[in-house]
């Protein structure tokens, strides 16, 4: 009996654009910087190697170990081929070994340390470790591309390069005057400074800084090597000065580029307002708006800022930025994800200044607004009475864009910005363009709008029944408590009509229901029901009249004089409340129309489902015919019968 043991395939490939590769490049760059700073310093000032040789050995071979691990890391690092990440181990190995990077990494680890046995401990033998500079440059380039502060990073990088150049130049300067002998020339150090290594390094660093920046009073060289070194140093300092000046100019230009562009726009607007003689208070308002944009680092044209990106990336950015805001809107909750994504692409951010009116009462509503940041006030006609306050996450204008308004889609209140407010605008045209592609969402939104409209219509009726004449704007919708059946208006017959002679006598409870939209202070006591709020403080006389009316309604045999008196009082009430009746009739007619609209939409949806089923059957029928033609398995008659049965089952 044989046992087959399968060894697991431990295949792990590093993504070259991933975070793990980036963190590893930081470690390798630190190992390179150690060699870059220490090798020349230990070679110029060999006195420091005598007491701390063990420490230097440990640090040297620790950096060599990191270099060796970097080679292993490269064998498991993927690469892109035609935009596709390659993860095959054989391909990765062949790709790395056939590249120049592999030979550079091997050159860095040449075992020249064995020469320590013949020439002694000399750090110049580790000079090949500096070939690893390509890893440091790759790390710097990637950091500059991904950082949020590129100008600051460029400035720090420039300062580091300057310090390294001064460091190497100072060490070479110390080597030259040490070979010529201390105190032999007037531009080198005296013998007293020979024991202090730190002071010698600082003096060399200081002299090279003056020489490379061309601002120091350099001593005159004497020997040929000194002349050659000073000439090369002056030429290098001149090129370094020009390079540093160019880098600094680029950094300053890039930092001030946004400010210059912003200032140019502001100057153009100022010139236009001055030429057109715009009032001073309006000019101050415009300047304050520009100041707010600059202080908050906002872009006046966000579409222009991302115009260079492809449509796919712009769509992903819009979805990640605005989708959460759209999900907070009640009418868009529990809808299709594709529908929300389409709406997100059509949201347009706008900024309003303090005191700006987003919309005014009576205007035709063509947009829906979603408050992203800031505070808005719903004000009355006088512009002073605040009816409601809208904060972040609030929205208004949804009934207007859904064609559910009762007054020609006009605003029922004015909305004003308190401070600077960021809003998202969704136009009516964009909304319906999206709804054409999503009929299910259209039916759902219209049903929600009908419910909100019915709630809006019930609010005045409830407030009138409770004796309040306070108006409710459409933008701030209250929750009605009156059932829809209680909004029915009882028919009222005029004196002399056929209904007046044939209909039963109106009871005391049926009279107040005729006028539920307003309070009637002059209604006689015998017409008030006990449940009506008008009879809260009734007198004893009204109670007697109420009992008498109850006995009359029980017997259902009223006298002709009493009936005439009731009709006369009702006639007076109708003359004063004709407007209220017309308002109620229009509300009921609008609600009836909306319900019929919902029934029509449901019918259209059912018809569309039947049509899709028919198309599905036709496709399946065609596929069956093709299979029959290929295989020749069945006759035409049997296939016809089967297709008919399939059609009936599908329908």
Q: CB under 8 Å to 617, separation ≥6 — which residues? A: 646, 647, 650, 651
In the predicted structure, residue 643 carries a pLDDT above the cut 60: no
- Structure tokens of 499? 């209904």
Question: What pLDDT is recorded for position 552?
Answer: 42
Q: Is the pLDDT of residue 546 over 70?
A: no
Contact yes or no for 199/238 (Cβ under 8 A): no
For tokens 């909306």, the residue is 594
- Identify the top-confidence range among 3-12, 69-78, 397-406, 497-506: 69-78
Superfamily per CATH, domain 304-465: Jelly Rolls (2.60.120.10)
Cβ neighbour number for residue 108 with a 10 Å cutoff: 23
CA nearest 316: which of 346, 348, 345?
345
Given a cut of 80, is residue 91 above it in pLDDT? yes
pLDDT of residue 272: 92
- Give the mean pLDDT of the chain: 73
pLDDT score of 571 more than 60: no
Q: How confident is the model over 351-361, as a mean pLDDT?
A: 88
Rounded distance between C-alpha atoms, residue 629 and residue 417, angstroms:
72
**Helices and strands (H and E) in the chain: how many:** 21, 10
State the pLDDT at residue 631.
Answer: 63
Q: Let me know the angle formed at the C-alpha of 594 by 590 and 600, rounded to the nearest 5 degrees.
A: 145
Alpha carbons 198 and 206: distance in angstroms, whole number: 12
212 or 184, which is more confident: 212
Contact 144, 150 (CB under 8 A): yes
Chain centroid, CA 135 distance in Å: 36
343 class by beta-carbon count within 10 Å (0-12 exposed, 13-18 middle, 19+ buried): buried
390-441 pLDDT, tens digit each: 988 788 887 777 765 544 567 878 899 998 888 989 888 888 888 888 888 8
Give residue 501's pLDDT: 41
Query: Whose CA is closest to 349, among 291, 312, 300, 315?
Result: 300
The mean per-residue pLDDT over the stretch 15-43 comes to 93
pLDDT of residue 573: 43
**Helices 337-344/428-435 angle, 10° precision:** 150
Answer for the pair 43, 171: CB distance below 8 angstroms, yes or no: yes
Lowest mean per-residue pLDDT among 196-200, 383-387, 487-491: 487-491
Give the 3-state secondary structure of 425-478.
EEEHHHHHHHHCCCHHHHHHHHHHHHHHHHHHHHHHHHHHHCCCCCCCCCCCCC
pLDDT band at 651 (very low <50, low <70, confident <90, very high): very low
Contacts of 64 by beta carbon, 8 Å cutoff, 6+ apart: 109, 129
Q: Which residue has the tokens 């899709």?
A: 612
DSSP line for 52-95: -HHHHHHHHHHHHHHHHHHHHHHHTB-EEETTEEE--HHHHHHH
- Per the DSSP assignment, residues forming a β-bridge with 80 are 85
**What is residue 69's predicted lDDT score, i.e. its pLDDT?**
95
Give the torsion through C-alpha atoms of 474, 480, 482, 487, to 10 deg.
10
Q: Please give the structure tokens belonging to residue 284.
A: 């101050």
Contact, 390 vs 371, CB < 8 A?
Answer: yes
Sorted by sequence, the CB contacts under 8 Å of residue 550 that are 6+ apart come out as: 508
φ, ψ of residue 84 in degrees (nearest 5): -110, 130
In degrees and rounded to multiples of 5, residue 348 shows phi and psi of: -125, 120
Compute, in degrees rounded to 10, the torsion defined by CA atoms 631, 635, 636, 638. -120
With helix as H, strand as E and coil as C, how does 131-198 read?
Answer: HHHHHHHHHHHHHHHHCCCHHHHHHHHHHHHHHHHHHHHHHHHHHHHHHHCCCCCCCCCCHHHCCCHH
| Dist CA 183 CA 180 (whole Å) | 9
Q: Is 359 exposed, middle or buried (0-12, 13-18, 19+ CB in 10 A)?
A: buried
449 Cβ contact list (under 8 Å, min separation 6): 331, 398, 399, 402, 404
C-beta separation of 433 from 405 below 8 A? no
- Provide mean pLDDT across the span 101-115: 90
pLDDT of residue 633: 46
pLDDT above 90 coverage of the chain, percent: 16
pLDDT (0 to 100) of residue 443: 82
Residues 6+ apart with CB under 8 A from 374: 352, 392, 417, 418, 419, 420, 421, 422, 423
User: Residue 30's pLDDT band (boundaries 50, 70, 90)?
Assistant: very high
Residue 50 has pLDDT above 80, yes or no: no
């Amino acid at each position: 009996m044989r046992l087959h043991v399968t060894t697991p395939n431990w295949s792990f490939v590093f993504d070259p654009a991933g975070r793990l590769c980036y963190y590893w490049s930081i470690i390798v760059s630190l190992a390179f910087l150690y060699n870059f700073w220490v090798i020349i310093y230990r070679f110029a000032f060999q006195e420091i190697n005598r007491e701390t040789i063990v420490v230097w050995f440990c640090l040297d071979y620790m950096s060599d170990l990191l270099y060796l691990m970097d080679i292993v890391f490269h064998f498991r690092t993927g690469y892109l081929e035609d935009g596709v990440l390659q993860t095959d181990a054989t391909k990765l190995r062949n790709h790395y070994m056939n590249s120049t990077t592999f030979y550079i990494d091997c050159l860095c680890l040449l075992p020249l340390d064995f020469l320590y046995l013949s020439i002694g401990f000399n750090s110049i033998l580790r000079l090949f470790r500096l070939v690893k500079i390509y890893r440091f440059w790759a790390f710097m380039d990637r950091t500059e591309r991904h950082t949020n502060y590129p100008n600051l990073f460029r400035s720090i990088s420039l300062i580091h390069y300057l310090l390294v150049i001064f460091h190497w130049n100072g060490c070479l300067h110390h080597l030259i005057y040490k070979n010529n002998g201390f105190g032999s020339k007037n531009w080198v150090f005296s013998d007293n400074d020979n024991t202090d290594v730190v002071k010698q390094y600082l003096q060399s660093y200081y002299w090279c800084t003056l020489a490379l920046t061309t601002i120091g009073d350099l001593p005159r060289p004497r020997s040929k090597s000194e002349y050659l070194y000073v000439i090369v140093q002056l030429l290098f300092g001149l090129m370094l000065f020009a390079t540093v000046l160019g880098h600094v100019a680029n950094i300053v230009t890039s930092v001030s580029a946004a400010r210059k562009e912003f200032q140019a726009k502001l100057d153009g607007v100022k010139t236009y307002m001055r030429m057109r003689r715009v009032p001073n208070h309006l000019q101050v308002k415009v300047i304050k708006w520009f100041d707010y944009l600059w202080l908050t680092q906002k872009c006046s044209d966000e579409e222009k800022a991302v115009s260079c990106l492809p449509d796919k990336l712009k769509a992903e950015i819009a979805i990640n930025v605005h989708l959460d805001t759209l999900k907070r809107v009640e009418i868009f909750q529990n809808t299709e994800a594709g529908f929300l994504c389409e709406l997100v692409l059509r949201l347009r951010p706008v900024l309003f200044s303090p005191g700006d009116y987003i919309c005014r009462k009576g205007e035709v509503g063509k947009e829906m607004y979603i408050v992203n940041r800031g505070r808005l006030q719903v004000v009355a006609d006088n512009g002073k009475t605040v009816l409601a306050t809208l904060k972040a996450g609030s929205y208004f204008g949804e009934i207007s864009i859904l064609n559910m308004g009762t007054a020609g889609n006009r605003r029922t209140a004015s909305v004003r910005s308190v401070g600077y407010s960021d809003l998202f605008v969704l136009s009516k045209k964009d909304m319906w363009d999206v709804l054409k592609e999503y009929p299910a969402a259209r039916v759902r939104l219209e049903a929600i709008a009908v419910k909100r409209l019915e709630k809006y219509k019930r609010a005045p009726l409830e407030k009138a029944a409770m004796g309040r004449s306070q108006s409710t704007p459409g933008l701030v919708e209250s929750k009605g408590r009156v059932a829809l059946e209680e909004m029915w208006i009882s028919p009222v017959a005029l004196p002399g009509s056929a209904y007046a002679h044939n209909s039963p006598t109106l009871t005391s409870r049926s009279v107040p229901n005729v006028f539920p939209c307003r309070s009637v202070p002059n209604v006689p006591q015998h017409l008030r029901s006990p449940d009506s709020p008008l009879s809260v403080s009734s007198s004893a006389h009204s109670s007697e009249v109420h009992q008498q009316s109850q006995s009359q309604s029980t017997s259902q045999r009223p006298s002709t004089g009493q009936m005439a008196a009731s009709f006369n009082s009702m006639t007076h009430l109708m003359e004063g409340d004709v407007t209220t009746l017309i308002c109620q009739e229009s509300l009921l007619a609008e609600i009836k129309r909306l319900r019929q609209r919902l029934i029509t939409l449901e019918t259209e949806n059912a018809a569309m489902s039947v049509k899709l089923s028919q198309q599905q059957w036709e496709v399946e029928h065609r596929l069956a015919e093709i299979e029959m033609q290929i295989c020749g398995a069945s006759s035409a008659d049997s296939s016809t019968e089967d297709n008919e049965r399939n059609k009936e089952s599908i329908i």
